Structure 1
Amino acid sequence: MQFKPTMSDVEIARALLDNSVPSPRRLKDAHQNQGNLCVELGNKEGMRVLEIGSREVTGASTLREKLTKATYVGFDYYPGRNVDVVGDAHRLSHYFREDEKFDLIYSTAVFEHLAMPWVVASEISKLLKVGGTLFVETHFSFSSHERPWHFFQFSDMGLRALFSPALGFECIEATMANPIAGKFSALADPYLRGRWVHGLYCHSQYLGVKRRDVESFAWGDVSVDDVVGDTFYPTPV
């Protein structure tokens, strides 16, 4: 049965929002309609599209069936339906020829399962054409799942840092969506029990364009200022 929020439910939900999180614009309803977004971005004659984490596990139709004009390649850690290339995303570029670049690379519900997501980010940069588009959706707050390989949760700023100008990207939009209303449970430390938790969102999303190649990129050579842009850590009040 579908949940029907009351006025008090809505008021509580609004009170729990973090108003510093950018409201989704291009990425509004992106979780529900992410397939349509990727088709809009990539279903053009001559375009090459790479999905990272393509194995079909839910019984839903795949984007391959909708990307009728583009060349679709599915990449996954395990073989299975909708997988063309099997391999480790941390070595993504090793599975393709140097001239096999992509116009669109996208990944949904994968980055939380990557042991070294910063390595995968640099591998994606190697395969994406200059002018190509990247769409990533992952989790900010979500149930522990698919353990033991549930490594990270990401905010919008975390995704911006992974795919920053230092790596050659321009962020078109990064945000978080699908707010969660949560409380500390009766099993929490006594001083926390029953307290509401503010600023919970299920999904985090990034849409960006690769603007330049960065030769011999190394995370050890990048400063914090290179990835945080014009933001700063909040000063004490």
Structure 2
Amino acid sequence: MAIINRLSTPFSVRSAVNRRRSSGSSKLAAAARCQADMDAASRAHTNQPSRDDRVNRQIVDLVAGQHLEGRTVLEVGGRNHPRSALLEGSGAGYVSVDLDGATGDGVIVADICSCPEIETASMAMVLSVDVFEHLAEPWNAAAEISRILEPGGVVYTSTLFSWRYHPVPEDYYRYTPAGLEHLFGSLDTISSGFDTTERRRNLLGTGYAAPLEPDAFGGWRENWRVFHAGRKPHSAGAVAELDRAAP
């Protein structure tokens, strides 16, 4: 029996070593598969329309549903006129409002959170893309936008539900569709929802955003956009007048 025990000990040791090696190899293989899956998820958004294309498509659809001839469209935070081209052929005028009017013509230098510079019921459409997360008082901005909309006018807001911190010059809030609907509670909701196209994109920070220190998962990988479109209802008197004018 003693001889058998002495002979069996080396086999037991070798078996344990082999098991540890096998376990280590399995963990490495699992880690490699996990990394490959993460890399594939991070690249998935590149097979979809770009962020600007997705936002612009929604705006174009709203523009197509509006009679804008001779009316004015306002873009909030648009000192570089990023979406003026979307109005081509609509007959609408385009202006923007921004705290910084350094780029010149067509910019109303004002704070949308308190904006007496723009008259009540003077805009047929108000666009806002990647602005509301940077507003210190978004409830006031929503009230001002609702005020300056014409009856029947449309507001489109595209902002963030989950995104890395990016102070430009500051980064205050994140939103849900229900949150935007609440802010624009005096309007009739046309549509609202999430855009998860870039959900697993690996954001490390560029431009104004300070670099994000990567961890085992990379940078920021929970990227959700959110949008809302609403229409300002006509007053009861205006609706009655339209009813009387109808054949």
TM-score with structure 2 setting the length: 0.59
Distance 1:145 1:211, change over 3 A: same
Aligned twin of 2:77:
53
**Larger proportion of helix:** 2
Q: Quote the residue 2:83 is aligned against.
A: 63
Rounded to whole Å, the distance in 1 between the matches of 2:76 and 2:131 is 8
Residue 199 of structure 2 corresponds to residue 180 of structure 1 = yes
Greater relative contact order (Cα < 8 A, sep 6+): 1
Cα distance change of structure 1 residues 182 and 213 upon mapping to structure 2, 3 Å threshold: same
In structure 2, the residue matched to 1:89 is 112
1:211 aligns with 2:228: no
Deviation at 1:200, TM superposition (A): 3.5
Give the unaligned 5+ runs of structure 1: 1-5, 14-27, 188-192, 215-237
Post-superposition Cα deviations, 1:150-175, rounded to whole Å, max 9, x if no partner, equal 111112222122122xx233242333
Which amino acid letter does the alignment assign opposite residue 70 of structure 2?
G
Shift of residue 12, structure 1, vs aligned partner: 7.0
Name whichever of 32-41 and 121-130 sits farther off. 32-41
Which is strand-richer, 1 or 2? Answer: 1
Shift of residue 211, structure 1, vs aligned partner: 1.8
What is aligned with 2:241? none
State the TM-score, normalizing by the size of structure 1. 0.62
Determine if contact 1:160/1:171 at 8 Å carries over to the other structure: no
2:41–2:201 CA contact under 8 A, matched in 1: no
- Flag the 1:85–1:213 CA change in 2: closer, same or farther, 3 A: farther
Q: Per-residue deviation at 1:115?
A: 0.3
> Aligned partners of 2:78, 2:128: CA distance in 1, in Å?
8
Measured in 2, the distance between the counterparts of 1:83 and 1:201 equals 33
Cα-Cα RMSD? 3.6
Match of 2:16 in 1: none
Q: Deviations over 1:17-48 (max 9, x none)?
A: xxxxxxxxxxx977423234434433742231
Percentage of identical aligned residues: 24
User: Aligned equivalents of 2:201 and 2:130: distance in 1?
Assistant: 21
8 Å Cα contact 1:42-1:49 kept in structure 2: no
Q: Which has the larger radius of gyration?
A: 2
SS at match of 1:78: coil
